[in-house]
């Protein structure tokens, strides 16, 4: 079906049709949902959501159980291509079309179809939570992404395509607080900065967004607003994307929550009432963590400055100051750590380091792992051992940032099991943008304080 031909008609029906259906509610699995209580680093006054590892049995949007780890890594590479500093078409103002063609006058300005990379997805590495939307409120399983700004979810009637999701689709026709956003709205003008794609306008004057991701996944639909609910707090007029064409492997999630630095991100929209900070603990697949918007306990963290970069003003840049293995600093000059811009990202699985730093890290780890038998390289991971991380003696690895904040990495932050008998150093080399990925952040509390331009870390966050 052709999205563009149907958009104006659909937009009218969204606005004119009365409520005709009632909304069924999702009931979260009690055992998993109750884990939000008791995290020691949570400030009692913030808004808190339970966060799940994409492969946790408690995740409301689990990935396929047989998803090979190599597919996760393939996704990682795609995600990074979006951030690449060397690719001149990093801002995809003209996305290349597959064979899905758009006709009509509206289409001229929406001549966009995004290439699909089968098996790769923005959702594969991202953590999952539940967010309420609409009146009455229904909760949806959403991936959380610090690397993008616009929140969107699949939206009935899915004019072109919706992937399979956990629970029912969001249906704007049954929410009494839904409204579409006109093309003249300030939020529509903000889309270029939020999505790096231009907005377009339907014949009935509804603003159309295009959210695309480095791995080829995308969502296209109406810019809309409705009441968003986090726990027991509600916020009217939250602006998000009502996705009519959602393609890629987003797991079973309904959509994505954008937490990057842009006016349209969930963070900025809630900031006037909640404060411009958020914190999270990314759990392992065997535990639960949290996402908290607003207040945090400032005394518990060690901080590094949050840096703005013209490479992408919506991403969170920080500076690495040094690394050590078993208490010994890596044999690399300290200028190597800052030889590339570095971002911290919730959705990248494997940390990327400047090549010289990575090479020194790999050497130092192999030396200190002594006689542990080596295993062949696995995908981009070239420092592998026979065995499982839980059974091996892994040296202490420290990752220090400018200003003194340090991640004292646990064995599970250093090595990642890629199959039943192989574990690999969960870092890789890059000569492009360095990235602090989510394997290294797991079980730490990380706070992003935009008002004070700082990012803080503290250990033991998921307990
Ligand atoms: C919780 O957050 C509030 C508001 O940001 C702050 O004033 C307070 O100090 C925090 N509580 C603790 C225990 O740090």
* pLDDT tens track for 125-138: 789 999 999 999 99
Determine the pLDDT at residue 140: 96
Whether residue 452 is predicted with pLDDT greater than 70 in this model: the reply is yes
Ligand 1 atom closest to the Cα of residue 277 is 5
* Model confidence pLDDT, tens digit, residues 413-447: 999 999 999 999 999 999 999 999 999 999 999 99
- Ligand 1: residue of 39, 41, 42, 45 to mutate (most ligand atoms within 8 A of CB) is 45
Determine the pLDDT at residue 61: 82
Ligand 1 atom closest to the Cα of residue 43 is 1
DSSP assignments along 92-154, one per residue: -SSPPP-S----HHHHHHT-------TT--TTSS-EEEEEEETTTTEEEEEEEETT----EEE
Tell me what the pLDDT averaged over the chain comes to: 84
The residue with tokens 């892994």 is 394
* Model confidence pLDDT, tens digit, residues 80-106: 665 554 443 333 323 322 323 322 323
Q: 113 or 441: whose pLDDT is higher?
A: 441
Q: How far apart are CA 70 and CA 28, in angstroms?
A: 30
Residue nearest to atom 9 of ligand 1 (CA): 297
Determine the pLDDT at residue 212: 87
Among the listed ranges 27-31, 250-254, 342-346, which one has the minimum average pLDDT value? 27-31
Determine the pLDDT at residue 55: 83
DSSP element (H, E) containing 208: strand 207-212
Q: β-strand 255-258 against 138-145: which pairing, if any?
A: parallel
Whether residue 372 is predicted with pLDDT greater than 90 in this model: the reply is yes
Q: Of 185, 150, 460, which is closest to residue 314 (Cα–Cα)?
A: 150
- Ligand 1: residue of 42, 277, 295 to mutate (most ligand atoms within 8 A of CB) is 295
The residue with tokens 């990248």 is 348
Strand order in the sheet with 406-409: 328-329, 320-325, 397-401, 406-409
Ligand 1 atom closest to the Cα of residue 297 is 14
At residue 416, what are phi and psi to the nearest 5 degrees? Answer: -130, 130
Residue nearest to atom 11 of ligand 1 (CA): 297
- What is 299-458's CATH topology? Cathepsin D, subunit A; domain 1 (2.40.70)
Whether residue 21 is predicted with pLDDT greater than 60 in this model: the reply is no
Structure tokens of 271? 């900031």
- Domain locations in the chain as residue ranges: 3-20+32-293, 299-458
Q: What is the mean pLDDT of residues 166-173?
A: 95
Domains 3-20+32-293 and 299-458 share a fold: yes
Whether residue 357 is predicted with pLDDT greater than 80 in this model: the reply is yes
Distance of CA 456 from the midpoint of ligand 1 (Å)? 15
Whether residue 459 is predicted with pLDDT greater than 90 in this model: the reply is yes
> How confident is residue 456, by pLDDT bands cut at 50, 70 and 90?
very high
Distance of CA 146 from the midpoint of ligand 1 (Å)? 23
- Ligand 1: residue of 270, 276, 297, 456 to mutate (most ligand atoms within 8 A of CB) is 297
Determine the pLDDT at residue 68: 80
Whether residue 8 is predicted with pLDDT greater than 50 in this model: the reply is no
* In contact, 386 and 36? CB cutoff 8 Å: no
Distance of CA 213 from the midpoint of ligand 1 (Å)? 36
To the nearest 10°, report the CA torsion of 379, 383, 387, 390. -100
Among the listed ranges 117-131, 183-197, 299-313, 407-421, which one has the minimum average pLDDT value? 117-131
Residue nearest to atom 12 of ligand 1 (CA): 297
Determine the pLDDT at residue 3: 40
Structure tokens of 49? 């959501």
> How confident is residue 33, by pLDDT bands cut at 50, 70 and 90?
low
DSSP assignments along 382-426, one per residue: --EEES-GGGS----EEEEEGGG-EEEE-HHHHEEEEETTEEEES
> How confident is residue 63, by pLDDT bands cut at 50, 70 and 90?
confident
Q: What is the mean pLDDT of residues 200-213?
A: 93
Residue nearest to atom 5 of ligand 1 (CA): 295
Determine the pLDDT at residue 28: 41
Determine the pLDDT at residue 214: 76
> How confident is residue 254, by pLDDT bands cut at 50, 70 and 90?
very high
Distance of CA 288 from the midpoint of ligand 1 (Å)? 23
Ligand 1 interacting residues, C-beta cut-off 6 A: 43, 45, 295, 297-299
Distance of CA 299 from the midpoint of ligand 1 (Å)? 9
Whether residue 19 is predicted with pLDDT greater than 60 in this model: the reply is no
Residues acting as catalytic residues: 145, 345
Determine the pLDDT at residue 113: 45
Residue nearest to atom 14 of ligand 1 (CA): 297
Contacts with 116 (C-beta within 8 Å, 6 or more apart), sequence order: 98, 216, 217, 247, 248
Distance of CA 444 from the midpoint of ligand 1 (Å)? 19
Determine the pLDDT at residue 321: 98
At residue 188, what are phi and psi to the nearest 5 degrees? Answer: -65, -40
Ligand 1 atom closest to the Cα of residue 44 is 1
Distance of CA 401 from the midpoint of ligand 1 (Å)? 24
Determine the pLDDT at residue 223: 98
Whether residue 24 is predicted with pLDDT greater than 70 in this model: the reply is no
CATH superfamily, domain 3-20+32-293, is Acid Proteases (2.40.70.10)
Q: How far apart are CA 192 and CA 190, in angstroms?
A: 6
């Amino acid at each position: 079906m052709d999205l563009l031909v149907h958009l104006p008609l659909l937009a009218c029906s969204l606005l004119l049709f009365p409520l005709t259906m009632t909304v069924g509610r999702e009931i979260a699995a009690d055992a998993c949902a109750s884990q939000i209580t008791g995290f020691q680093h949570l400030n009692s006054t913030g808004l808190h959501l339970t966060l799940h590892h994409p492969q946790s049995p408690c995740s409301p949007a689990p990935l396929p159980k047989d998803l090979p780890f190599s597919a996760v890594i393939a996704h990682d590479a795609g995600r990074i291509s979006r951030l690449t500093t060397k690719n001149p078409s990093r801002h995809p103002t003209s996305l290349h079309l597959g064979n899905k063609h758009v006709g009509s006058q509206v289409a001229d300005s929406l001549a966009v179809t995004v290439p699909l990379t089968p098996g790769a997805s923005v959702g594969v590495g991202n953590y999952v939570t539940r967010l309420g939307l609409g009146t009455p409120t229904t909760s949806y399983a959403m991936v959380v992404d610090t690397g993008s700004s616009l929140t969107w979810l699949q939206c009935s009637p899915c004019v072109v395509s919706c992937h399979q999701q956990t629970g029912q689709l969001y249906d704007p026709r049954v929410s009494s607080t839904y409204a579409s956003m006109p093309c003249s709205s300030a939020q529509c003008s903000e889309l270029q900065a939020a999505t790096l794609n231009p907005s377009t306008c339907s014949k009935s004057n509804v603003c159309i967004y295009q959210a695309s991701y480095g791995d080829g996944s995308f969502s296209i639909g109406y810019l809309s607003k409705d009441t968003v609910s986090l726990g027991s707090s509600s916020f009217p007029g939250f602006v998000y994307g009502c996705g009519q064409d959602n393609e890629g492997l987003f797991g079973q999630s309904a959509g994505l929550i954008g937490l990057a630095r842009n006016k349209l991100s969930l963070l900025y929209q809630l900031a006037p009432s909640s404060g411009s900070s958020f914190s999270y603990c990314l759990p392992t697949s065997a535990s639960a963590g949290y996402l908290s918007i607003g207040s945090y306990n400032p005394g518990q963290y060690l901080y590094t400055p949050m840096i703005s970069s013209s490479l992408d003003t919506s991403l969170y840049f920080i500076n690495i100051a040094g690394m050590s293995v078993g208490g010994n600093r890596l044999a690399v000059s300290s200028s190597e750590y800052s030889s590339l811009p570095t971002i911290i990202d919730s959705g990248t699985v494997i940390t990327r380091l400047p090549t010289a730093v990575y090479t020194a890290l790999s050497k130092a780890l192999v030396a200190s792992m002594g006689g542990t038998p080596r295993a062949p390289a696995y995908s981009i991971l070239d420092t592998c051992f026979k065995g499982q991380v839980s059974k091996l003696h892994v040296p202490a690895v420290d990752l220090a940032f400018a200003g003194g904040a340090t991640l004292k990495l646990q064995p599970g932050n250093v090595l990642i099991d890629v199959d039943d008998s192989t574990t690999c150093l969960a870092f890789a080399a890059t000569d492009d943008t360095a990235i602090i990925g989510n394997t290294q952040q797991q079980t730490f509390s990380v706070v992003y304080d935009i008002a004070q331009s700082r990012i803080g870390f503290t250990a033991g966050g998921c307990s």
